[in-house]
Amino acid sequence: MSDEPMNSKHVNKAADDELDLRVLRALEATPGIEIPADFAARVARQLPARRPVSLTPTHSMSAPASYAARKTFRPMRPKPLIPTRTAIPNLRFVSKKTPTCAGQAEG
Amino acid sequence: MDIDLTFEQLVRDHQAMVFRTLLRLTGNREHVDDLAQDVFLRLYRALPSFRGEALITTYLYRIAVNVAQDEWKRRRRDDRSHVSLSDETSAWEERLAHPDRNAEQQLEEREFQQTVEEQLQLLSQIERTILILYHQEERSYEQISYALGMPIGTVRTHLHRGRKKLREAIQQRQTKERRTECQTNR
């Protein structure tokens, strides 16, 4: 058994590792940048005239009073299957048929 | 007035990071000033809706990536080939050279850096962005995931794939160069 293939494998592995390391180093290198001295001031000058309301993220506004009232005191509605009207007997009609106390006295 | 001053300070604090990221994402020095300005103006407009669930830097990366994407689209429309990072006026990789190395090593290192930059620009936009945010900007998976609006698993996959493609492309190029050298020597 020759140890040549083993050696070449080791060499290849070492070369791969070396390449990986070089690639990573190249990726991690930060490019040199040239920022104009007045860059921030220039950006500030470009800001639109209408400013954002606030820089703070948590800012809540309450709803108009009328809206709140409607939401709070919304009337309870009946269930649709419950009849809301019930038949009321006609009292006049009923009174004709049934003898009254006064009628009895006359007869 | 106060808001303007505060914002100017915010620009000053983050401008280096924005310039760096845009420079490498676009591979071009030509319009970096304009693009960086666009990033900060977009941030200003977006501040009222910024709810503070992420760091302002992560939010800025998100905007910078969007601006770079718009630039890529614009270039595709113009069908203009990009100017390399290492054009005559920049040669930024020269500044990376270590003073203790000899000239030959430095030259080789510079060439290698140049190769990596070129191959980086040939990767897909998303792979390039993730490689830059992870390796150059040292952002975490979570931050990249937020900045790009994609799951962490997808970020990992693109990172792994991007690195593999980059290494293979460089290997191929080196092999080709060696072959050419051998043929020339014969």
pLDDT along chain A (107 residues), means of 10: 60 80 88 88 83 55 56 69 71 56 46
Q: How many CA atoms lie within 13 A of B66 on its CB side?
A: 16
Nearest to B112 among A26, A42, A43 (CB): A26
Integer Cα distance of B52 and B58 in angstroms: 11
Inter-chain residue contact A31 with B24, CB threshold 8 Å: yes
Domain topology for B101-186: Arc Repressor Mutant, subunit A (1.10.10)
Q: Which of residues 36-55 of A touch B (CB under 8 A)?
A: 36, 39-44, 46-48, 51-55
Nearest to B44 among A41, A47, A57 (CB): A47
pLDDT value of residue B106: 78
**Spatial contact of B36 and B22, defined as CB atoms under 8 Å apart:** yes
Q: What ipTM score was computed for the predicted complex, to two decimals?
A: 0.70
DSSP letter string, B35-63? HHHHHHHHHHHHGGG--SSS-HHHHHHHH
The CATH class, in words, for B1-79 is mainly alpha
Res B84 pLDDT > 90: no
CA distances from B83 to A31, A52, B107, B120 (A): 15, 37, 21, 14
Integer Cα distance of B82 and B68 in angstroms: 13
Q: Give the pTM.
A: 0.64
Integer Cα distance of B15 and A40 in angstroms: 8
Q: Which residues contact B134 (CB under 8 A, 6 or more apart)?
A: B141, B144, B159
**Spatial contact of B89 and B29, defined as CB atoms under 8 Å apart:** yes
Q: Could you tell me the residue ranges of all domains in chain B?
A: 1-79, 101-186
